[in-house]
Structure 1
Amino acid sequence: MLKGIPQILSPELLKVLCEMGHSDRIVLSDGNFPAETMGKNSIVIRCDGHNIPDLLDAILTVFPLDTYIDKPVNLMEVVPGDHVETPIWDTYKEIVKKHDSRGAEAVGNIERFAFYEEAKTAYAIIATGEKALYGNIMLQKGVVV
């Protein structure tokens, strides 16, 4: 164990976060996301039993968001006609605000299939037990100054 590191961050996840460089992306995927399929060229880390808000909050304590782009955090857009509420997005925005001065302004949306294509090029995908529909979130790493 280490001091000051959230316990939810496993040694495997910490190693991946440390290995990532500027502009690398990581996906925190909900339980319905095809993590293994999308992650064929990425590192897939299983965090079953954990939800995304807890992981997101812990990750952002050690992970700088990219300041060279407007939207270093992206959510998967709801498919038009899919009548799904996404209250978890407000939770994500509050967590981002806690760790980044841009707050909700740092959060964008990516169309569902474009999100899948972006996920295929992510450095890593964290497969969670998150039950919220459209709970997927992608982070782009910045630099530590």
Structure 2
Amino acid sequence: MLKNLDPLLNADILHALRSMGHGDELVICDANFPGSSVARESVLGELLHLDGVSAPRAIRAVLSVMPLDTFIDHPASRMEVVGEPQTIPAVQREAQIEVNAAEGREVPFVSIERFAFYERARKAYCVISTGEERGYGCFVFTKGVLLAPDAPQS
């Protein structure tokens, strides 16, 4: 165990999060997502796992250590419901609460059409599969920066 780290964050996930740079993207997906095949095309090239965990809980763990990008308009995205782009399923509403809590501000999800989501996920730094059984528990997050208190802000 390590102090002040969410116990869900295993060594593989911590390594991936630490290796990511500003602007790199991370995917958190549900159990129905084709995670293995998509992750093979990601920068990391392998699927990471948080089995048995809901997508919102995985988001809480990841965002407890990873800042979202503040230099772009939409650092958080969700897979939109096929044929119903305005529908926000419960899993996405729960995820929105976790994102806002982690950032201490409103960070609304932007929606991405299902097949466009797959393409974007293939270009991500890494893909983390959860045990989320509800559909549309799939999200993309863009990593931000942590600046030292005395560093110039741009």
Cα drift, residue 85 of structure 1 = 6.5
User: What is the match of residue 56 of structure 2?
Assistant: 53
Give the alignment's TM-score, normalised by structure 1.
0.92
Work out whether 1:77 is the aligned partner of 2:104: no
- Residues 102-121 of structure 1: per-residue CA shift (max 9 Å, x gap): 4243x211111110000000
> Match of 1:103, SS?
coil
Cα drift, residue 41 of structure 1 = 2.3
- Structure 1 counterpart of 2:131, which letter? G
Cα drift, residue 81 of structure 1 = 5.9
- Structure 2 counterpart of 1:57, which letter? R
User: What is the match of residue 31 of structure 1?
Assistant: 31
> Match of 1:126, SS?
strand
- Choose the corresponding residue for 1:100, options 99, 103, 125: 103
The number of equivalent residue pairs is: 143
Which structure 1 segments of 5+ residues have no match? none
8 Å CA contact retained: 1:76, 1:109: yes
Cα drift, residue 97 of structure 1 = 1.0
User: What is the match of residue 12 of structure 2?
Assistant: 12
- Residues 27-85 of structure 1: per-residue CA shift (max 9 Å, x gap): 01100000111111223102221221111111111100001111101000111169x86
Which structure 2 segments of 5+ residues have no match? 148-154
> Match of 2:12, SS?
helix
User: What is the match of residue 127 of structure 1?
Assistant: 129
Matches within 5 A, 1:109-120: 109-120=111-122
Give the alignment's TM-score, normalised by structure 2.
0.87
8 Å CA contact retained: 1:94, 1:104: no
Over the aligned positions, Cα root-mean-square deviation in angstroms equals 1.6
- Choose the corresponding residue for 2:69, options 56, 66, 79: 66
